[in-house]
Amino acid sequence: MQKRTVNGKALGLPFWEVANDVVALARAGRGIIVMPTGTGKTTQAPQALAEGGFVRQGEIWISVPKRPLAAELAARVAQEMDTELGGLVGYQMRGERKISSATRVLFMTEGILQAKILRNPSLNGVTCVLLDEFHQRSLMGDFNAALIERAQNEGSKVAMLLMSATIDPSYLARHFNCGVVDGSHLAMLHPIAEKYVGDVGLRNGEAFEAAANAVIEMVVGSKQGNGLVFMPGKWEIDQTIDAIRKRLGQSKLDGVTILPLHGQLDAEDRHAPFAERSGTTVTVATDIVETGATLPDIGWVVDSGLAKEIFYDPLSDTSGLRVVEIAQDRLWQRRGRCGRVREGTYVGLFSEENALNRPERTQPEIYRRPLRDVVLGIKSLGLSRVGNPLSLIDSPPKTNWKQAKSQLQLLGLVAETSEAEITQSGRQAVKLGCDPRDAAMLLKAAELGCVREMAVAIAARQSTRRLLYVLSDERHAATESHRRFRVGNDLCDAWTVAQVVRQAEARGEQALGTWCRERYVSYRALVEIMTTARELERSVRSLGYHGNDSGTEEALAKAISAGLPDRVFEWTGFRSDYRQSGSYDSFVLGRESVISPSGKSIVAWEVIEIPTRGGRTMKLIVNAAIHST
C-alpha cells in the first residue's frame, strides 16, 4: 500500500466549508461550483461525492482539460483516499490508463469523456460527471456539457457539475437552469504579494532573461518554497531553462533543480515536477499546470502572461495556434498556483497596466475557431443542428452555420445532401485535429506524396515569425542568399519554405545556427516550423499514411488548392490585380510572390491589409499558389 497522504479534509482545505452544499447540488441534478484556486475543489469534490454515496450506485467521472492532469490528480486522490491507483480511483487518456473493475472515481481528458458519452449516450452506470476548469470554454468541453444536458433531458439520472475558479456563474446558471455553489468568499490559505517588471517581449529574448532574473531574485532573496514559471510553448521553455541555468552558474548557486513541463514529455518526465525532492525545484511549464493539479511546495510564480491559443483570421479565412496574451481570469489562475502552503509571490513579466487592460474573461473557443471546425465536430458526433439539436451555450448566427456547411461540402468533408452527413475524409480530418482547410490539404498531400512539404507549409503559415530576414546594411547579400531557395519556383509561394527546410536538413555537419546566419534565415522561426511540421506529419501517419522523401512543387500546389476551393482568384489583366468571381473587391498579388500575373487563376492562402498613401487600405495576397485540381 502507498504511503498515505494527509487528505484535504484533515488539512482544512476551504472546500470542506461548502462540501455539503456541493453534494446537495449534485443530488439536484446539475449545477455550477465557483471557488478560488487553491481551495481544493478538483481533488476534494470527488471525495465529498464518494462520501455522499455517489460511488455506491455507479461511477464519478471527472474531466480535465490537459492530459498530464488526469494522471497526477488521480494519483493524488488515490493517496488521500488510501487506495492503490487503478483501484477505487483511476485515470484514462489516449494511449494511457490505469483502471480496473473496481474503479469508481475516474479522471479523464475531455476527449476520452466525449468518446465515452458517444458509446453510452444515456450515461448508464454513471452517477455524476464533473467538468473541471470550465472557464476555459474549450469547444470539446462545451460539446460534452451539451451532450450530458441532452442525456438528462431524455431521462438520464446522471448529475453534472461545472467547476471553475473564475467563471461567471449567473450566465451558465441561466443557460442550464440550475443552482450555484458560490464559494468565492473562501479565502486562500496564505496571502500573495504581487510584482510586475514591465512589458518584455519574446522576439528579442527579453522575456527569457527577465524570467531568469526573477528566478535568481526569488532564490537568492531567500524566498521559501519551489518556483513555477509559465511560458507559452516548448521552445520558450527550453530558452528560459537555458537562461536560468546560465544565471545560476554565474551566481554559483547549488541545490536548484530546473525541470520542464509540457505535453511533449513522456510519462516519467511529466511526473518529475510533481515529485518531492530536497533543495529548490523550479518548474518551467506551459499552461498544463495553470489549473488542477498542484506542484509541491510552490512559494512563487513567474508568469510570462502568454499562452498558445487557437486564432482565426477572417481576412484569410484561416486558423491556427498563436502565442497570445491571456485574459485576466487565466492570470488569476496562475497567480493562485502559489500561496497554498506558505505566503506566495507572483511576478508578472508585464506591467500592471497591461494586466488591467486585458479582457476579463477568456473568449469561448467556439468564437476563436472557424465555424466549419465547429460544424465538422458536431457532424463527427452524429448530431445535427436540425431536428433534435445540441443546445450549445453560445451559438453564432444561423447564416454563418450555413456558410460553414457549404465550405465543408466544397472540401469534401461532408456530403452534398441536405443532412450533410460526415464523409470518410471528414472523419479523418477530425482525427487530424486541425482546421478543416489544413486537413483537406494534408489528406490530398498524402495522396500526392508531399505530406512533408505540406506540413512545413502549414507550419510556416501558422508561425508569427518571419523566416527569411533582411538586414538593412546587408540587403544585397540577403537577397542573393534567398534567391537560392526560389530557383525554379514559380507555382507556389509555400515551396520556398519547403526548400529552406529541405536544405537545412541536408546541411551536413554544420551547426544549424551557423547555417541560418549565413543564409539570413531566422533560427527561431525555422526550429518552430520544423517542430510543428513534425507534429502534423505524426498526425497524418497515425491515419495509416506513409511519409515521403521528396514531393514536387506541382503536387504541393495541388494539395494547397484542395483546401482553398472557395478562395480562387482570377487575374484582371491589369498589373497584379486579382478578383474572385462575382466580386468587385480588388486584391493585389504581393511583389515577393514567385507567381507571375497571367491568365492562370490562383488560390489565395494568406491575405493582409496594408495602408495606402491615400489613407485607404489595400488587400495584399502574400501567400498564393497556381490553382490546380
Residues 346-355: pLDDT tens digits? 999 999 999 9
The pLDDT of residue 346: 95
Residues 32-83: pLDDT tens digits? 999 987 788 999 999 999 999 999 999 999 999 887 788 889 999 999 999 9
Residue from 161, 144, 207 nearest 34 by CA:
161
What is the distance between the alpha carbons of residues 328 and 330, in angstroms, rounded to a whole number?
5
Section 415-426 average pLDDT: 92
What is the distance between the alpha carbons of residues 115 and 381, in angstroms, rounded to a whole number?
9
Q: Are 39 and 183 in contact (CB under 8 A)?
A: yes
Please determine, for residue 2, whether its predicted confidence score (pLDDT) is greater than 70: no
The type of residue at 349 is L
Q: Which cell goes with 105?
A: 472515481
What is the distance between the alpha carbons of residues 481 and 503, in angstroms, rounded to a whole number?
12
Q: Are 228 and 337 in contact (CB under 8 A)?
A: yes
Q: Which cell goes with 83?
A: 487506495
The pLDDT of residue 187: 66
Residue from 214, 427, 388, 382 nearest 303 by CA:
214
Please determine, for residue 11, whether its predicted confidence score (pLDDT) is greater than 90: no
Residue from 332, 346, 341 nearest 218 by CA:
346
Q: Which cell goes with 208?
A: 527569457
96-98, strands of its sheet edge to edge = 96-98, 89-93, 105-109, 59-64, 126-131, 159-164, 30-34, 179-182
Q: Are 472 and 509 in contact (CB under 8 A)?
A: no
Residues 517-546: pLDDT tens digits? 999 999 989 998 998 899 899 999 999 998
Provide Rg for the chain, Cα atoms: 26
How far, rounded to the nearest angstrom, does the alpha carbon of residue 627 sit from its chain's CA centroid? 32
Please determine, for residue 443, whether its predicted confidence score (pLDDT) is greater than 60: yes
Q: Are 110 and 138 in contact (CB under 8 A)?
A: yes
Domains of the chain, CATH where assigned = 8-182 (3.40.50.300), 192-365 (3.40.50.300), 434-560 (no CATH), 564-626 (2.40.50)
Work out the pLDDT band at 315, boundaries 50, 70, 90. Answer: confident
The pLDDT of residue 540: 94
Angle between helical axes of 475-483 and 512-519 (0-180°, round to 10): 110
Burial of 163 (C-beta count, 10 Å sphere; 0-12/13-18/19+):
buried
The pLDDT of residue 462: 86
Please determine, for residue 1, whether its predicted confidence score (pLDDT) is greater than 60: no
Residue from 463, 528, 534, 527 nearest 494 by CA:
463
- pLDDT above 70 as % of the chain: 97
Strand runs labelled E in 57-119: 59-64, 89-93, 96-98, 105-109
What is the distance between the alpha carbons of residues 239 and 349, in angstroms, rounded to a whole number?
15
Work out the pLDDT band at 222, boundaries 50, 70, 90. Answer: low
Please determine, for residue 549, whether its predicted confidence score (pLDDT) is greater than 80: no
Q: How many Cβ atoms are within 10 Å of 99's Cβ, its own excluded?
A: 18
Question: For 362, which DSSP code?
Answer: P
What is the distance between the alpha carbons of residues 138 and 63, in angstroms, rounded to a whole number?
12
Alpha carbon dihedral 331, 336, 338, 340, in 10-degree steps, equals: 180
**pTM (two decimals):** 0.74
What is the distance between the alpha carbons of residues 604 and 120, in angstroms, rounded to a whole number?
43
- The DSSP string of 6-50 is PPHHHHT-GGGGSHHHHHHHHHHSEEEEE--TTS-HHHHHHHHHH
Residues 469-524: pLDDT tens digits? 998 889 999 999 999 999 888 999 999 999 999 999 999 889 999 999 999 999 98
Q: Are 85 and 98 in contact (CB under 8 A)?
A: yes
Residues 113-142: pLDDT tens digits? 988 988 899 999 999 999 998 988 888 899
Residue from 211, 215, 228, 221 nearest 340 by CA:
228
Please determine, for residue 313, whether its predicted confidence score (pLDDT) is greater than 80: no
The pLDDT of residue 203: 62
Q: Are 283 and 295 in contact (CB under 8 A)?
A: yes
Section 251-272 average pLDDT: 84
Grouping H, G, I as helix, E, B as strand and the rest as coil, residue 5 is coil
Section 245-250 average pLDDT: 87
Helix (H) or strand (E) holding 212: helix 206-220
Window from 254-268, 372-386, 426-440, 512-526 with minimum mean pLDDT = 372-386
Please determine, for residue 280, whether its predicted confidence score (pLDDT) is greater than 50: yes
